[in-house]
């Protein structure tokens, strides 16, 4: 089971795509969306939080997840959720996108919400913690927080494009970052071609050019 938190940084679509791909690959997902993230979702995706399972409702509307049976969502204030305990079975946690506020809380062990508590649990239990911080430019405080978390065992994966995958749309760019996260989680995907696949696809063309 993989825990995914979406916080109030720009780019909640990154977290949504990750959850869709995890569900499509048969992974169980425990998800938490912060209040600030819902504001950004309203602003960037023109979607208003509604109902008792608002993330499931959003995923249903998008229609990109094969099934929602493996999804469980928790209120960000619910410290009784299994994610708040070291005995919970989550193998890895991803915060995507990760706001500078949540980054700072995670870096200092300030576990005042389910998201920051679950980060704390992941670090203390030595589980995989992947943070996708979204801000630019970065202050010395942001950078120090990232270094601190990296030294504590977290992986810092900024949503930075690799242009070698030839992105044409925002969807391609989102899928590139999503694929990078799935790589770290050890989950197979076809969201973009690896450098090796691209190089071998380009090789026959290069040979032909050379022969002409």
Ligand X SMILES: Cc1cc2nc3c(=O)[nH]c(=O)nc-3n(C[C@H](O)[C@H](O)[C@H](O)COP(=O)(O)O)c2cc1C
Q: Which residues are at the interface with ligand X (CB under 6 A)?
A: 7-10, 34, 36-37, 39-40, 43, 99-102, 134-135
Of 59 and 98, CB closest to ligand X? 98
Of 9 and 59, CB closest to ligand X? 9
Nearest-approach distance from CB 194 to ligand X, in angstroms: 28
Spatial contact of 34 and 114, defined as CB atoms under 8 Å apart: no
Of 12 and 179, CB closest to ligand X? 12
Which residue's Cβ has the minimum distance to ligand X? 8
Other Cβ atoms within 10 Å of 59 Cβ, number: 21
Residue 50 CA to residue 57 CA, distance in Å, equals 8
Of 24 and 110, CB closest to ligand X? 110
Nearest-approach distance from CB 166 to ligand X, in angstroms: 26
Nearest-approach distance from CB 100 to ligand X, in angstroms: 4
Nearest-approach distance from CB 145 to ligand X, in angstroms: 11
Nearest-approach distance from CB 38 to ligand X, in angstroms: 9
Of 6 and 187, CB closest to ligand X? 6
Query: In 3D, which of 151, 150, 157, 143 has the Cα closest to residue 18?
Result: 157
- Tracing tokens 């969306």 back to the chain, one arrives at 33
Residues in the chain: 212
Residue 26 CA to residue 44 CA, distance in Å, equals 28
Residue 123 CA to residue 105 CA, distance in Å, equals 13
Nearest-approach distance from CB 113 to ligand X, in angstroms: 6
For 60-99, letters b (16+ CB in 10 Å) and e give eeeeebeebebbbbbebeebebbbbeeebebebbbbbbbb
Of 11 and 179, CB closest to ligand X? 11
């Amino acid at each position: 089971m993989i825990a995914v938190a979406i916080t109030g940084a720009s780019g909640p679509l990154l977290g949504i795509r990750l959850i869709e791909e995890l569900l499509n690959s048969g992974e169980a997902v425990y998800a938490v969306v912060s209040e600030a993230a819902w504001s950004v979702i309203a602003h960037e995706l023109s979607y208003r939080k509604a109902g008792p399972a608002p993330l499931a409702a959003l995923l249903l509307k998008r229609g990109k997840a094969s099934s929602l049976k493996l999804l469980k969502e928790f209120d960000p204030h619910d410290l009784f959720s299994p994610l708040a305990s070291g005995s919970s079975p989550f193998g890895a946690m991803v915060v995507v996108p990760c706001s500078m506020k949540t980054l700072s809380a995670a870096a200092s062990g300030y576990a005042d919400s389910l998201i920051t508590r679950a980060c704390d649990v992941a670090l203390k239990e030595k589980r995989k913690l992947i943070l996708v911080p979204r801000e630019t430019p970065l202050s010395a405080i942001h950078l120090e927080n990232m270094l601190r978390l990296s030294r504590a065992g977290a992986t810092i994966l900024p949503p930075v494009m690799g242009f070698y995958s030839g992105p044409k749309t925002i969807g391609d760019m989102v899928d590139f970052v999503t694929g990078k996260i799935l790589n770290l989680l050890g989950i197979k995907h076809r969201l973009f071609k690896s450098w090796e696949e691209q190089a071998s696809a380009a090789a026959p063309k290069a040979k032909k050019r050379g022969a002409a």
